[in-house]
Amino acid sequence: MDEANTKDTIQRHAAAVEAGDWDTVIGDLSKELQAHAATIAQTLPQPVTSAKVVSVEVGDDETVAQIHYAGDASEVTIQSHWREVDGRPTIVQAGPVA
């Protein structure tokens, strides 16, 4: 995976979650995950007031990112797995870090 493009996409994704730009957020999900977008969103604080990329580990075939989301009453760190799909970084798996 292209490291610079992948890191930029992950930063943009975090900013989109914080801004409530759900069209961009859903567009970053694989077709399979898009069907579960509402369930994934329920794990996030409501509303998200900050999003910080904690780590990004870029690999040849897959990148693993951790993004910490905080709100007024709760916070969660989500680990996402990104792969190239149709020429762009796409989330293929995501869930809260235990």
Domain boundaries in the chain? 3-96
How high is the pLDDT of residue 98?
81
* pLDDT values of the chain reduced to their tens digit, one per residue, 98 residues: 999 999 999 999 999 999 999 999 999 999 999 999 999 899 999 999 999 999 999 999 999 999 999 999 999 999 999 999 999 999 999 999 98
β-strands 75-85, 63-70 pairing:
antiparallel
Rounded to two decimals, the pTM is: 0.95
What CA–CA distance (Å, rounded) separates 94 from 4? 21
The DSSP-derived string for 36-79 is: THHHHHTTS-SS--EEEEEEEEE-SS-EEEEEEEE-SS-EEEEE
**% helix, strand, coil for the chain, step of 5:** 35, 40, 30
Q: Which CATH number fits domain 3-96: 3.40.50.300, 3.40.50.880, 3.10.450.50, 3.40.50.2300?
A: 3.10.450.50
